[in-house]
Amino acid sequence: MFLRFLRPKCRLVIYSSGISEPQKMFLQTPFFDSDVVRSARDMYIHVETRITDSQITKLQAPVLRIQSPYLSAWCINKLILQWLDGKRKITFVQVRATRDLPRNEVFHGIEPAALITGTEASDGRGYNPSLYTLVRSDHGDLVVYLDTDYCNISDPFQYSH
């Protein structure tokens, strides 16, 4: 539909403002297979999408806000592992799923010594400290705010709330 109007490395912003039933608006799965979409520099998508776990890990945007009933803890784990391996830049990633995001699955395969939890990991905004985990690596830190079906991942030195 509007893919032909997009350019590589564009900022992709899609809101549901003015749509009477925004929960029924979906960006279909094939939309996220486009090279132009994968190469977007930022993605702010505030409508339901049908993006899958494997598709989200192929997006290059360091800033990403997205929601989908097809996302799971697996994709969040892969995004963090890509960052730990130096294959992904993360400034801010927000994932809204419609299923539980179990902590043990989100942090599967990550060295326990690299994980700092609780107050020390909190960003100081007064949220429950048990929802925060700081992921440490040689090239920086990531703050992971993990709630039941919602996750924010941010670089504390590049993103301010």
Amino acid symbol at 86: G
Q: What is the pTM of this model?
A: 0.89
- pLDDT grade, residue 110 (50/70/90)? very high
Helix (H) or strand (E) holding 74: helix 73-84
pLDDT over threshold 60, residue 53? yes
In one-letter notation, the amino acid at residue 111 is: E
Give the angle 83-91-114 at the CA atoms, nearest 5°.
40
Query: Mean pLDDT, to the nearest integer, of 31-35?
Result: 93
Give me 89's structure tokens.
Answer: 């830049």
Enumerate the domain spans of the chain.
9-154
Tens digit of each residue's pLDDT (9 = 90 or more) over 65-81:
999 999 999 999 999 99
